[in-house]
Amino acid sequence: MSIEKVKAYFASIGEPERVIEFEQSTATSELAAQALGCEVGRIAKTISVFVDKKPVLILMSGDMKIDNKKFKAQFNCRPHMIPVDDVENLIGHAVGGVCPFAVNEGVPIYLDASLYRFDTVYPAAGNDKSTAHFKTAELERYVNSAGKVDVSKPK
C-alpha cells in the first residue's frame, strides 16, 4: 500500500507523526478540507501530468487548477493529464492518494506558487483517507522538489 511507503518514509526521518489518517475519504481537495475543518486552498493537491511524455507531479493549492498558458510557458508543452489507470504504475500512488512523498524514482515534483499563500498546507499521504501536516516554508525540505513554478489559476 502507498500509505505504508509514506509512513516508512516519515519514520525513516524520525517524523512518523506527520501522517494523519481519517475514517472518511480525503480523495478530493474538498473532502480533505471537510475532514480537516480547513479551507480548500490549504489542501496541497498533487497533479499528475506528462511533460514531454514523462510523468511529472505538481503540488498546488486545492482551490486552483492548471493554467494552460502558464504551464506552456513554464514547460514548453501543453499539459496532458496522466490517465487514471496509469497513475499508480507511473507515480507509485493511486488516484485519491497521490502525494509528493515516496514516489517512484525519477518523477520530478514541482511546488506551485499558489501554496505560498498559506502558512500551513496538507498534502495527501498515500491513500484516499490520509494527509500530512506541514508549514509551507518547510515543505521543500520533505519533498524532493525540482523547483518552484507558477502554473495555476483559480477554479
pLDDT tens by residue, 47-104 = 999 999 999 999 999 999 999 999 999 999 999 999 999 999 999 999 999 999 999 9
Give me the amino acid identity at 79: P
Residue 150 and residue 75: Cα distance in Å, rounded? 11
Closest by CA to 49, choosing from 16, 25, 73, 83, is: 83
Closest by CA to 88, choosing from 2, 10, 19, is: 2
Going by pLDDT thresholds of 50, 70 and 90, the confidence category of residue 1 is low
Residues 6+ away with beta carbon under 8 Å from 65: 152, 153, 154, 155
This prediction's pTM: 0.95
Q: 119 in helix, strand or coil? A: coil
pLDDT tens per residue across span 12-61: 999 999 999 999 999 999 999 999 999 999 999 999 999 999 999 999 99
Q: 24 in helix, strand or coil? A: coil
What backbone torsions phi and psi does residue 68 show, to the nearest 5 degrees? -60, -40
Catalogue all structural domains in the chain, each as residue range(s) with its CATH number.
2-154 (3.90.960.10)
- HEC string of 50-74 equals EECCEEEEEEEECCEEECHHHHHHH
Residue 31 and residue 136: Cα distance in Å, rounded? 21
Cell numbers describing residue 2:
502507498
Number of other CB atoms surrounding residue 12 within 10 Å:
10
